[in-house]
Amino acid sequence: MAVKIRLSRAGAKKTPHYRVIVADSRSPRDGRFLERVGTYNPLLPRGHPDRVKLKLERIQYWLDNGAKPSFRVATFLGAADVIPMPSRENPEKAKPKAKAQARLEELTKAEAEKAEGENAATEKVATENAATENAATETLQRRMLQRRMLQRGKFLQ
């Protein structure tokens, strides 16, 4: 039996409330489940302690037994440091836009000039600078993406 940890909708019209459940992957969304392991209330503000409630011990038990979390539940578990934060599936959408790329280029040029000014003595140092420049651009892109996602409220606290 393929077991999933996913959300089951409850609540009235336009007032959703979700239960975090462990269920067979073939069962309906609001149908039969094995165990209720938490709740999620999207109507509460992001920092509210009752927005996401999880029974972490039971979730860890089910994960150890092979249960796969849905993407939304995986983000909850990533925020709770139970599993690593899942990555986004659409790399094209996650790319920095034109303004962010321009700022990134300016930063990389400034870092490159600074690095060249300090270590222009040998070719070996120059090749190391290129490698660090690539690493720096990757970290800057990652930081900018994380900052943008935090501003949009994609990460839960």
pLDDT in tens, the chain (157 residues): 799 999 999 999 999 999 999 999 898 888 889 999 999 999 999 889 999 999 999 999 999 999 999 999 999 999 998 888 888 777 677 777 888 888 888 888 888 887 766 655 556 666 666 777 777 788 888 888 877 777 776 554 4
Distance of CA 115 to the CA centre of its chain: 32
HSE-up of residue 124 (Cα within 13 Å, Cβ side): 0
Dist CA 38 CA 27 (whole Å) = 18
Q: What is the CA radius of gyration of the chain?
A: 22
All residues at 6 or more sequence positions from 22 whose CB lies less than 8 Å from its CB, including other chains: 3, 4, 5, 33, 34, 35, 36, 37, 58, 62, 67
Decide if 44 contacts 34 (C-beta within 8 A). Answer: no
Q: What is the pTM of this model?
A: 0.56
Architecture per CATH, 3-79: 2-Layer Sandwich (3.30)
